[in-house]
Structure 1
Amino acid sequence: MDAGTAAVLGALAGSVATIGAALATGWAQREGARITARSEHRRQRREPRHGAYKAFIAEASGFRDYVGVFTVSYTVFPYDRVDVMFSGRCEELADAVREKWVDVALAGPKKLADIATSLERLSNVLVFRVVGLRRLLDSEGRTQETSTYDSIKELIAKDAEEFESELDRFISVAQATLDDDGSLK
């Protein structure tokens, strides 16, 4: 190979290496900027989400604590305590859960919104069952329809346990969502 060809090939190799290095640097800078932008976006969403999740968890926990008495043992719970005041308070707490659910549903992400929707629906089901149970009781707390009464008690206990489990799952997913800084795809 003569000196002219070697010089041209050397210059070409240097140019290709420079272009390759420039492309690699550009790609690395673009990926760094994308990670930074994603991280900043998630940080800006974290604060409103934190507030929405916190308020929802507070209301759902209040509802869980109120209906949690049914999970202790549906056979020994004093169901004569299920009066108009009890069912009315149950309805108020479910309404508060529904109100905060809207914020969580809008804040997202979808997985968390789906769990919150499940909790909101369960709170409504529990209210309907508690009201149904109350209507079966006479003024002294006795019932004439024992089989219906017992089956409603079992359903309330099952739904209250499911509500508690779903709330625990919501809290776990909410923590993971708030911990996500956006650095991973």
Structure 2
Amino acid sequence: MDAGAAAVLGALAGSVATIGAALATGWAQREGARIVARSEHRRQRREPRNGAYKSFITAASQMSDQVGIFTVSYEAFPYDRIDALFAARCEEAADRVKSTWVDVALAGPKEVTEIAGRIDRLSNALVVRIAGLNQLLNPETRALTDAAYDGLKDVIAAEAEELEGNLDRLVLLAQSALDDDGSLS
């Protein structure tokens, strides 16, 4: 091979290697910048999520505490506690759940929004049933048998337990969403 051809081939090989190295460096820098940007975005989302989750979990816990009495046995169930004041406290708790749910829905992610929506719907359903039970327990309008009261109490108890289970699941999902720094995806 002639010395001129060898010099041209050497220069060509050096150019190809330089271009390859530049492309690899550019790709690595772009990926690094993308990871940093995603991590920063998730950090900025985590701060408002923390406040929204905290408010919602507090409101949902208050609702769960209110309706927790329905999970006691028939013999110990305090029917005398079900009055207009109790129904009003449950309605206030459900209103707090509703008002904080919007922030959680906007904060996301989808899994947290879905479970928070279930908790909100259960809170509203419980308020309606408790108001109905309060009306039925009113001595002036008492029309159902004890078995009917117990049946309605069972429905409320099942929904109260479902609310508590969903609340426990929400806490775990919220922790997971807050722990996600974007470095793994």
State whether TM-score is above 0.5. yes
d(CA) in 1 for partners of 2:163 and 2:144?
A: 29
Give the corresponding residue for 1:108: 108
d(CA) in 2 for partners of 1:5 and 1:141?
A: 108
Aligned ranges 1:76-155 → 2 under 5 Å: 76-139=76-139, 144-155=144-155
Kept in 1: contact 2:123–2:163 (CA 8 A): yes
The letter for the 2-side match of 1:175 is Q
1:75-97 CA distances to partner (integer Å, 9 max, x unpaired)?
A: 53112211111111111110011
Give the corresponding residue for 2:10: 10
d(CA) in 2 for partners of 1:143 and 1:164?
A: 31
> TM-score when scaled to structure 2?
0.93
Q: Secondary structure at the match of 1:68?
A: helix
Give the corresponding residue for 1:54: 54
Unaligned stretches of 5+ residues in structure 2: none
The letter for the 1-side match of 2:5 is T
- Would the alpha carbon gap of residues 117 and 74 (structure 1) be closer, same or farther in structure 2, given more than 3 Å must change? farther
The letter for the 2-side match of 1:92 is E
Kept in 1: contact 2:87–2:127 (CA 8 A): yes
Structure 1 residue 147: Cα displacement: 3.6
Aligned residues: 185
Structure 1 residue 142: Cα displacement: 6.5
Give the corresponding residue for 1:181: 181
Unaligned stretches of 5+ residues in structure 1: none
Kept in 2: contact 1:136–1:143 (CA 8 A): yes
The letter for the 1-side match of 2:124 is N
Structure 1 residue 151: Cα displacement: 1.6
Structure 1 residue 170: Cα displacement: 0.8
d(CA) in 2 for partners of 1:74 and 1:141?
A: 22
- Alpha-carbon RMSD: 1.8
Residue identity (%): 66
The letter for the 2-side match of 1:104 is V
1:96-133 CA distances to partner (integer Å, 9 max, x unpaired)?
A: 11011111111112221111111000000111111111
